[in-house]
Structure formats: C-alpha cells, structure tokens
Amino acid sequence: MTWYDEWCQALLSPGSPAPAGLSTWNGSDPAQRFAVYRNNVLVVLRDALADTFPALRDHLGHSTFADLALDYVCQYPPHSPILADYGHSFPDWLVKQQVLRQLPSWCHELARLERAYVDSFHAADAETPTLVDWQHLLADEQRLVHSRPQLHPSLHLIEVQHEILPLWAASQEAARLSHPLDLEDERPTPSLRFHTLCVLREEEEVAVVVLSQDAALALKRIASGSSLAEALADIDDEPLRIQLLAHWIRLPLFCAL
C-alpha cells in the first residue's frame, strides 16, 4: 500500500490512527490535526448528501440520515470535485440498508426522485421543438412514421411502488416556508401504488409529474429508440392519443423531433 492509499484509507475511517510519517510546522500533535481534517472532510461530504436528499433526511430524521450518510461516505467517496454530482449510487445502496437497518421500504424511491431532481436542474440546456416544428411533423405522415424524437437531457423517468410525491412535496413546502422538518419519531407510511414519475426542467424550474400508464409506456419506448408512431401504436383511443400529444407539445420533453 502506498502512502497515498494509506492516507485515503485513514481519511475515510473514523477512529483509525493517522498515517505514519506526518509532522507539523509548529510541533503540535499531527494525529490531532489529522483528526480535525478528517472530521471536516466527512462532515462536508455528509452535508453534501443532505443537500441532495433533503426530503429523505426530513422523513427519516436528521440523526438517522446523518448516520446513514456517514456510512455511505466511508464506503463510497466521491470521484468528482463537484459535490452536486455526489451520491448517484446512494439510492441503490439504500436498498440493502432498508433490510439491514429496518428502514421504510420507500426510502430508495424517494432518494431516486431527489437524485433525479438535482440531475435535472444541472442538466445541459437544449432547444425544445416549437409549435411550428410539431405542426410540420404531424402534417407529414411519412416523416411521422420514421421520426425518432430525442428526450430532453433534463428528463428522467422513475418507476415507484409507493406514493412518495406527497413526502417530497411536504419537504419542499417546509423548505420554502423555512420550517425545517425532522420526522424521525413519526415516519409516514405512503400507500402502495405502482406508477411512473417524470422529472423535467421547465426553464429554471424543475417539475415532477405523475404520468398515466399510457404516457409512461410511450415515453419509455421513445427512450429506447422507438419512433413516435411506434410509441403511440398501442393507444387505440383517438381522443386519448390527441390529448397525450397535446401534453407533449406543451411540455419540454424533447430536444429533437
């Protein structure tokens, strides 16, 4: 093990001794100085996760979340200096923790929603089709058959089995009103309902929309490379198909037709 590896391992291991060979300019205890530095690093990374997953922190309780976050930080340090990018594997990591720590079964789903929210906010800008673009496409039957729209970079589709949107919305409202939540002793029990959430950015605001089953299936098909006609093929109800297209025209779901 190199000295660098030893340093990194000690940095992510609370309570472990400082790496050998450290010295200080003023003769103070290097182990104590290293302990302070290590604590600062761990706290910054733990707080970065709290910034990305505030609703999860609120509904699990701040102390429970802090313990979870610290364990995750020690196992999965960041690979980028951009703290907003940190924690992409946190929702999947929570799946195992839900069993080991007897956490609510909706934890990882709420975390996926919050991770997608941050990713959507920071996604690249892209021009969305205009009404004229849509008119030209829908007027050309041959082009309509072969058109393969590209989803906007800010769009994320999340399949969930629990009604997590009210949990997320309650935390958002509390943050807006500067009323911090800490619900560790009264954890909610969202009802079971399989559905798909769509996270997308409209100008500078990120929106979360509950999709109908038909809309979710159509967007998933487009995401996998299907044409617009193929994506809508199973919707036999003409008014429903028209209504779905109207929503697609209004929302910034695509960056190319």
Alpha-carbon distances, residue 228 vs 111, 144, 211 (angstroms): 31, 7, 17
- The pTM of the full predicted model, rounded to 2 decimals, is 0.89
Q: What is the pLDDT along the chain (257 residues), one digit of tens a residue?
A: 787 788 888 889 888 888 887 777 787 787 788 888 899 999 999 999 999 999 999 999 999 999 999 999 999 999 999 999 999 999 999 999 988 888 999 999 999 999 999 999 999 999 999 999 999 998 998 888 889 999 999 999 999 999 999 899 888 876 665 555 555 545 556 777 899 999 999 888 999 999 999 999 999 999 999 999 899 888 888 888 889 999 999 999 999 99
CA distance 53 to 32: 32
138 φ/ψ sector (left φ>0, alpha ψ -120 to 50, else beta): alpha
Query: Which of 113, 190, 111, 110 lies closest to 157 in space, CA to CA?
Result: 113
Query: Which of 152, 110, 92, 159 lies closest to 127 in space, CA to CA?
Result: 152
Look up residue 15 and give its DSSP letter: T
- What is the chain's percent helix, strand, coil content, to nearest 5? 55, 10, 35
Query: Which of 61, 68, 118, 66 lies closest to 93 in space, CA to CA?
Result: 68
